[in-house]
Structure 1
Amino acid sequence: MSEWNLPWEAGCRCGQVRMKISAPPVVTMACHCVGCQKMTASAFSLSILLPKDGFEVTKGKPVVGGMHGYPVHYFCPHCMSWIFTGLRETSPFINLRATMLDDATWFEPFIESCVGEKLPWVNLPVAHSYAQFPTMEDYEVLAREFAEKGKRPA
C-alpha cells in the first residue's frame, strides 16, 4: 500500500484553529453513539485515531465543550466546530474529526462503533463493526490490519 504522504494540515470551519498531522493514522472510524449523533447533529461522527505525538495545534487554542468530562471534546472557541477528542490522560492517542482535514476526500471509515445505537437507515461500507467500542486488544489487531489495508490519500 502507498505511503501516507505526511504531514497533513487541518483546521476548523473558520480557520482560527489550525493543526498539523505528522504521524500516520492508527485507524479510521465512524461512531454511531447517541452522544456523537447529538454533537454532530448527524447520524454519526467520523474520526481518525492518531498518535498524540503526531498531532499538533499550530494556531489558536481549542476549548473544552460537549459534556465537559471524559472523554474531553475540543472545539474552536469562535465557530464552535468539534475538532478533536482527547482520550484518557494516559492514552497516547487523540481522535481528530476527519472532516477537519484540509483534504478529507480520501477518508473512509475502516471500523464503526456503537452500532447498537445507530439510526436504522445507516449502512456504512466498513471492514469491521462493533456493538459498542472495540477492546484494546481489538485495536491492536485493527491497527495492524489498517496499516496493511486502510485507504490512503491519492
Structure 2
Amino acid sequence: MKLEGGCYCGKVRYVAEGEPMMKAQCHCRECQYITGGSTNLFLVMPAAGFKYTGQAPKQFTRADLERAVTREFCAECGTHVVTRPPGRPAVVVKVGTLDDPSLFGGPQIAIYTVDKQPYHHVPEGMPTFERLPTR
C-alpha cells in the first residue's frame, strides 16, 4: 500500500509505503489535546517505508514523561502529521493528513478507552482496550 499526504498548508508532504500494522482510534488524553477533544484516527506504518517529500516538520517530545513519543507537525500551519513511538520501527500517521482519507477504511480497534469521554463514539462490536493491546 502506498499512502501520500501532508499538512493543511501543503508545505509538509510525505509518502508512507507498506502494510498498515494497526488501524485504530485513540481516546488517550494526549490525543484529545492534539485533536481538539475528539478521538485520534491513525494508521501505524513501517518506519522504513515512510519519508518526507516536502518541507521537514518541527518536532516536539515532552521531557517530563518516561518513554514520551515524538510528535511531528508543520511549523507553518500547525497540522500534526505523525507520531514516532520510542524504540519502535513504526510511524503513527494521522488519517486527516492523508490525501485520500477513505483509504483508511475505518478503525479496527479503540485504544486508551480509560480516558474516553462520554461524547466519544466507539462502533458497536469493535474491540476496545483500556490502554494498548498486548502483543
Q: TM-score, normalised by structure 1?
A: 0.78
From 49, 71, 74, the equivalent of 2:72 is: 74
Q: Deviations over 1:89-122 (max 9, x none)?
A: x311110111111000242111111111111132
Say whether the 8 Å CA contact 2:5–2:15 is kept in structure 1.
yes
Query: Between the two proteins, what is the percent identity of the paired residues?
Result: 28
The 5 A counterparts of 1:1-154 are 6-65=1-60, 67=62, 70-88=68-86, 90-107=87-104, 108-125=106-123, 127-135=126-134, 137=135
Which one has a larger percent helix, Structure 1 or Structure 2? 1
| Structural RMSD (CA) | 1.6
Greater mean alpha carbon deviation, residues 58-67 or residues 76-85: 58-67
**Residue-pair matches, total:** 130
- Sort the Cα spacing of 1:116 and 1:85 in 2 relative to 1 into closer, same or farther, 3 A: same
**Structure 2: any 5+ residue segments left out of the alignment?**
none
- Sort the Cα spacing of 1:36 and 1:65 in 2 relative to 1 into closer, same or farther, 3 A: same
Q: TM-score, normalised by structure 2?
A: 0.88
**Structure 1: any 5+ residue segments left out of the alignment?**
1-5, 138-154
Using the alignment, how far apart are the partners of 1:97 and 1:132 within structure 2?
19
Partner SS, residue 84 of structure 1: strand
Give the Å deviation of 1:133.
1.3
Partner SS, residue 114 of structure 2: helix
Q: Deviations over 1:38-75 (max 9, x none)?
A: 11102211111000011111111111136366101111
Partner SS, residue 51 of structure 2: strand
